[in-house]
Structures are given as C-alpha cells and as structure tokens.
Amino acid sequence: MIYDCIVIGGGPAGLSSAIYLRRALKSVLLIEKGVFGGQITTSPKVENYPGFKEISGLELGTKMYEQSKELGVETMYGEVSKITKNEDLFQVFVGDKQYQSKVVIYATGASPRKLGVLNEEKLVGSGISYCATCDGAFFKGKTVCVVGGGNTAVDDALYLSNVAQKVYVIHRRDTFRGEPVKVAILKEKENVSCIMNATVKEVIGDSQVKQIVLNVKGKEQTLDVDGIFVAIGQVPNTTILEDFVPLNDNGYIKTNLQLETSVAGFYAAGDVREKQVRQLTTATNDGTIASVMAIEYLNTLKD
Ligand code: NAP
C-alpha cells in the first residue's frame, strides 16, 4: 500500500496533522515510538489550551488520539530508523519493514537534554529522572532536587513540593526563565530552597543517588539527595535526518512558513523544527499548517 501521508510522531503536532489529513479523505499512517499524545501526557495540569480551562495532559492527549482514530487514521508503534525518497515516493523504515507514502510529516518532538556529568547514565531510574510527574511518587517524604530554571523545572518543583519532604531547585543563573507567576508561587513554598548561580559537577552514588555536587559561584557544595530531576530543556529527535534535510546548529529542522523543508513533500511540525515558541498550541498550529500544505501538494500530484 502507498499511503498519501506518513506522519512520524504521535504528539499534538502529529495528531493534528493526521486529523486534518483524514478530514480531507487522505490515507494516513501515524507512527509513534512511545505514547500517543506525546510529551504533554506527562503534564498533570494543562491550563493554557483554549477550550479547556483545566485538563490533564494525559486526558487531552488521549482525546486527540481518539479523535484521530474515529476519523480512520491508521496508527502503529515503532521507531523509524531511516527515511529515503525515490521516484517521488518516500520510504519509511521501521525495524525490518518498509512503508511508502507520497508525503511525510515529521513531528517527532524533542527529548530531555542530559546533564552530561559523571554517573548520570548509570543512575537513570535509580534516583535520576527526566519526568517528575512520572517518577515523583517514588520520592514521597524524601529529599530531591530539580535542575533547571525554565517552566518545566518550575512545574516539576511545584509538583514535587507536594510529594517530597524537601526540594532544592538548582539553576545556573540568578533569574528564572519560567513564568513569573509560577516562580512567585514556588518561592512561597516552605519546603523549597532555590540555589542560584549553581551548576552540577557530579552525582554521587553506586546503585542509587546519594549526593549531588554543585559549583555555586565557584565554591563546591554537596547536597544529600535521594532524587535528581533534570529539567534543562530538550534536544530535537532528528539524528536519522542528518543526511536527509538541512538542520540548524542545534539539530532542529529548517522549514519555511509553509513548514516545507528542502525535500519536496517532506514537512516538519512541532517542537522538532526550528522556531521560537514551543508550546502545545504552537504544536497543533504547526500540525495544521503542515497538513493543509501537504493536502494542497497531494492534490497537485497525478495518480
Ligand atoms: P527551557 O525553557 O529551554 O529551559 C531550560 C532551562 O534549563 C533554562 O533555565 C536553562 O538555563 C537551563 N539549562 C539549559 N541547559 C542547561 C545545562 N546544560 N545545565 C544547566 N542548566 C541548563 O526548557 P523547558 O523548561 O523544558 O521548556 C521548554 C518549552 O516548553 C518552553 O517554551 C516552556 O515555556 C514550555 N513549557 C511550558 C509549560 C507551561 O506553560 N505550563 C510547562 C513546561 C514547558 P538558562 O535559563 O540559563 O538558559
């Protein structure tokens, strides 16, 4: 079978694309390697998606997924290892299988950035986590730290302050990047201490995290912690594209305003593309633009 479109990535950008394509009666295969709904499914509370004053990320992501299924989007789990284009058709490789389509919308999002310090890799799942809402419950009554100063770090620290006994927030600058309203709430929390101008030097622990060693304004400081939540941004999931489409210096896909790349029929949408604002609403916005442009392109192709 040759699909009209293969959408890679089942987060809000990919799901929005798939919904628009199906409503234009195009055949769609949507491939996801983790959870349909994407990153947002780990947010306990979403309060900035119009139409929903408050909804959990999991519920919102699930609703988007169900909507796509009801419209007839074909979905599958799998990790895409390679994409090629031959004779106006794309070949998308998943394991030992190959799927073909006339267009591809690439919406794989981004993954958590790693600290890159000693013992980090070894202790992932043994005290180091990149998802407070997924793993926070394991640290009930314990001492944890959150590294980062953006909205994710602030959200994580707020969430953990209701679970853990003590939360340290470690940020490399003297001001937070996260929304001032949320930062103000965080600063009011009695069990939260913010350590500013601090970078992580090392994590100590054999089979479990025991301590974190910081460099605070040039001085070393060691904290006893049971858990470390890393929230220092994202890196785009584009390694398989390196020889296929142009990426910027940080690995994000370059697109024009129509979300086209330099490869005809290959679109990028959501957090994976080069842009300024990465939000749920801008992901669905991207999914809409990419799919509408893809539909126009498909309609110009001869059968
Ligand atoms: P982010 O906004 O890029 O923030 C990353 C934070 O990590 C920054 O404070 C940065 O420090 C710090 N950092 C980066 N690399 C580091 C390193 N190697 N070592 C130590 N610290 C490092 O990422 P994010 O918080 O994941 O948010 C991503 C996007 O999603 C943002 O647009 C954010 O607004 C959005 N978001 C929104 C919500 C919400 O509205 N509820 C929730 C979560 C995320 P500097 O500040 O010094 O650069």
Per-residue pLDDT band at 241 (split at 50, 70, 90)? very high
Q: CB within 8 A of 76, min separation 6: which ones?
A: 29, 30, 31, 32, 94
Q: Which ligand 1 atom sits nearest the alpha carbon of residue 153?
A: 25
Q: Mean pLDDT across the stretch 282-295?
A: 98
User: Over 90: is that where the pLDDT of 245 sits?
Assistant: yes
pTM here is: 0.80
Distance 23 CA to ligand 1 centre (A): 35
> Backbone dihedral region of 205: left (phi > 0), alpha (psi from -120 to 50 degrees) or beta?
left
Lowest pLDDT segment from 90-94, 106-110, 130-134, 205-209: 130-134
What would the pLDDT profile of 132-143 be if each residue is shown by its tens digit? 988 899 999 999
Q: Is 150 in the pocket of ligand 1 (CB under 6 A)?
A: yes
Domains and CATH numbers, the chain: 2-111+234-300 (3.50.50.60), 114-230 (3.50.50.60)
CA atoms within 13 A on the CB side of 37: 16
Q: Which ligand 1 atom sits nearest the alpha carbon of residue 278?
A: 32
Q: CB within 8 A of 169, min separation 6: which ones?
A: 145, 146, 148, 149, 153, 154, 157, 186, 192, 193, 194, 195
Whether 145 is catalytic: no
Q: Which ligand 1 atom sits nearest the alpha carbon of residue 232?
A: 7
Q: Is 189 in the pocket of ligand 1 (CB under 6 A)?
A: no
